[in-house]
A and B are shown apart, each in its own frame.
Chain A
Amino acid sequence: MEISLQNRITFFSELLTCSHNILYWCYDPELELLNGDTPKAPVYDALLSINGCKDYLRSRLEENTNPLILSDTMGLMWAAVPELSGGQTTRIHVIGPVFISDISANTLEKHLSEKGYSIKIKKTFLELLHALPVLSVTSFFQYGQMLYYTIRGEKIAMSGFHFQLPSPEQKPGHDIPVKMRSSKESHGTWAAEQELYRMVAEGNTDYQEAWDKLAVTGSYPMFSLGDPMRQMKDMALTLTAVTCRTAMWGGLTPELAYTLSDYYIQGIESASAIPEIQEILRAMFQDYVSRVHDMKKNSHVSRQIQDSCNYIQIHSAEKLSIADIAAQVGYAEYYFSKKFKKEMGISVKDYIKKIKVERAKIILRSETISIQEISEALSFGTLSYFAETFHKFTGMTPGEYRSKFTE
């Protein structure tokens, strides 16, 4: 017997209150609240608005109808799923807000004490804070997936969600005892990690399912240095370090593996929002896996040519000359060019362009810097040359690629 959508929504919204008391909201396509008949509805609606999340949701809905994870600088998170009819959005179903760690709430309480506000102000704000549920990112993602299933009637992996990345304006701001993990969550995390790292060592590019499994079953470190952003960054740094070592076990040269690690660590430390860190992690993982994959595929290639490829990959942001690369591996330019083409099936010049384009693809997916800046950062000379080269290898302009990937 098929259950109507409205009954599914009613049942799901009641289920949400069973363990974490997560709130459910329904908006019209103009993002006016449809179920705002509770006294606190305007307050929660305002929380979605004041740090730009509602505006972001509005702008995304103009482009496509994918589900979203929204987050703000205070550590609050929402999941939003558009309901469709004839390809058009008829309603938007939102759950949240939730704090994604108790650190966020504790940090806000601490700030409040330091400011010396009156008892009335403190009491009112703390009442709001304590009413908001606190749960892990992975748990909230699971609720997001359940919301999607409730509305659309089909399953979705976490990779199907779009994560809000911070705009340039959205820039922000201790000792918590280590909590003992439960046996069940520890075993789930270890199993998911083992599978994922096995794929890195093998250069197995079909890792997406294993990645999603870690996002859902894995749990993040239970320590904190005082704020959720630091917690997420520390987790990301750990994941990057382990992936780097695993890639070396898979055969990637230490020089290349550590250089990549430095690049991604820099990105992680510069990140200003949790979804941004997640995007960097995805790009990092894909980078390592694909490089191990390519290296294994090219196992027939001589050591010197492999070293020259590594050199090009490490220095892909620089202006490279074939003569310099040849000198690095101890060959004359003419001999090196011939040998490279014979073993790799591609000229040195085209290989350099290919690697630069691969690097550009990563940056286009994971960072918000302009295409002009990417062109300059990768030493393409001119924007038009960058666009032409990019199109040659991908069939798309850099702008089209960025739009496609961030849909």
Chain B
Amino acid sequence: MKLKKEISLTSFLQKVKDCRGEVTFQTEEGDNLNLKSVLTGYIFVALMMSPEVLEEGWITCEEKEDYDILNEYLVP
């Protein structure tokens, strides 16, 4: 699922910590960012400087119920 525009990425990353399974951000170029990783958090923040990457990428949750947790940040 895609990320909504103009969300707080820091709030989103905070919410990811509440998810049971892995949460990854995948890009058009084939990157897989594990959003629970500390280093990836920094990379994700850096992507605020390239908003098109954030808009084109999508979020994948390992556990289905985690989509509900991240609901307010994702485009239905």
Q: How many angstroms between the C-alpha atoms of A50 and B48 in the bound complex?
A: 13
Counting chain A CB atoms within 10 Å of each CB, the highest count among B31, B41, B46, B53 belongs to B46
Residues of B5-55 at the interface with A, using a CB-CB cut-off of 8 Å, are 9-10, 13, 27, 29-31, 33, 38-39, 41-43, 45-50, 53
User: Which residues of the partner chain A approach B29 to less than 8 Å between Cβ atoms?
Assistant: 118-121
Q: How many angstroms between the C-alpha atoms of A65 and B42 in the bound complex?
A: 29
Binary contact readout A105-131 vs B (1 if CB under 8 angstroms, 0 otherwise): 000100110000111110011011000
Q: Which residue of A lies closest to B30 (CB)?
A: A118
User: Which residues of the partner chain A approach B53 to less than 8 Å between Cβ atoms?
Assistant: 120-121, 124
Mostly, the B contact residues are helix
Does A3 make an interface contact (CB < 8 A)?
no
Pairwise interchain contact B10-A121, C-beta atoms closer than 8 A? no
User: Which residues of the partner chain A approach B46 to less than 8 Å between Cβ atoms?
Assistant: 43, 124-125, 127-128
Pairwise interchain contact B49-A127, C-beta atoms closer than 8 A? yes
Pairwise interchain contact A50-B42, C-beta atoms closer than 8 A? yes
Q: How many angstroms between the C-alpha atoms of A124 and B48 in the bound complex?
A: 9
Nearest-CB distance from A105 to chain B (Å)? 12
Nearest-CB distance from B39 to chain A (Å)? 6
* Chain B interface category by residue count: 20 to 34
Counting chain B CB atoms within 10 Å of each CB, the highest count among A40, A118, A127 belongs to A118
Which residue of B27, B38, B43 contacts A125 across the interface (Cβ within 8 Å)? Answer: B43
Pairwise interchain contact A46-B38, C-beta atoms closer than 8 A? no
User: Which residues of the partner chain B approach A50 to less than 8 Å between Cβ atoms?
Assistant: 10, 13, 41-42, 45
User: Which residues of the partner chain B approach A119 to less than 8 Å between Cβ atoms?
Assistant: 29
Residues of A126-183 at the interface with B, using a CB-CB cut-off of 8 Å, are 127-128, 172-173
Binary contact readout A30-53 vs B (1 if CB under 8 angstroms, 0 otherwise): 000000000010110111011100
Given contacts A46-B48, A49-B10, A50-B10, contact A117 B42 (CB under 8 A): no
Q: How many angstroms between the C-alpha atoms of A119 and B49 in the bound complex?
A: 15
User: Which residues of the partner chain B approach A47 to less than 8 Å between Cβ atoms?
Assistant: 42, 45
User: Which residues of the partner chain B approach A40 to less than 8 Å between Cβ atoms?
Assistant: 49
User: Which residues of the partner chain A approach B49 to less than 8 Å between Cβ atoms?
Assistant: 40, 43, 124, 127-128
Given contacts A111-B39, A120-B53, contact A46 B31 (CB under 8 A): no
Q: How many angstroms between the C-alpha atoms of A367 and B33 in the bound complex?
A: 35
User: Which residues of the partner chain B approach A120 to less than 8 Å between Cβ atoms?
Assistant: 27, 29, 50, 53
User: Which residues of the partner chain B approach A51 to less than 8 Å between Cβ atoms?
Assistant: 38, 41
Given contacts A50-B10, A124-B46, contact A108 B27 (CB under 8 A): no
Q: How many angstroms between the C-alpha atoms of A127 and B33 in the bound complex?
A: 18
Nearest-CB distance from B4 to chain A (Å)? 16
Pairwise interchain contact A172-B38, C-beta atoms closer than 8 A? yes
Pairwise interchain contact A118-B42, C-beta atoms closer than 8 A? no
Which residue of B9, B27, B48 contacts A121 across the interface (Cβ within 8 Å)? Answer: B27
Q: How many angstroms between the C-alpha atoms of A125 and B50 in the bound complex?
A: 10
Residues of A1-57 at the interface with B, using a CB-CB cut-off of 8 Å, are 40, 42-43, 45-47, 49-51
User: Which residues of the partner chain A approach B43 to less than 8 Å between Cβ atoms?
Assistant: 112, 117, 121, 124-125
Q: How many angstroms between the C-alpha atoms of A112 and B39 in the bound complex?
A: 9
Q: Which residue of B lies closest to A40 (CB)?
A: B49
Q: How many angstroms between the C-alpha atoms of A96 and B68 in the bound complex?
A: 36
Does A73 make an interface contact (CB < 8 A)?
yes
Chain B interface residues (CB < 8 Å from chain A): 9-10, 13, 27, 29-31, 33, 38-39, 41-43, 45-50, 53
Chain A interface residues (CB < 8 Å from chain B): 40, 42-43, 45-47, 49-51, 73-74, 108, 111-112, 117-121, 124-125, 127-128, 172-173
Which 5 interchain pairs have the tightest Cβ spacing? Answer: A118-B29, A49-B10, A128-B46, A46-B45, A125-B46
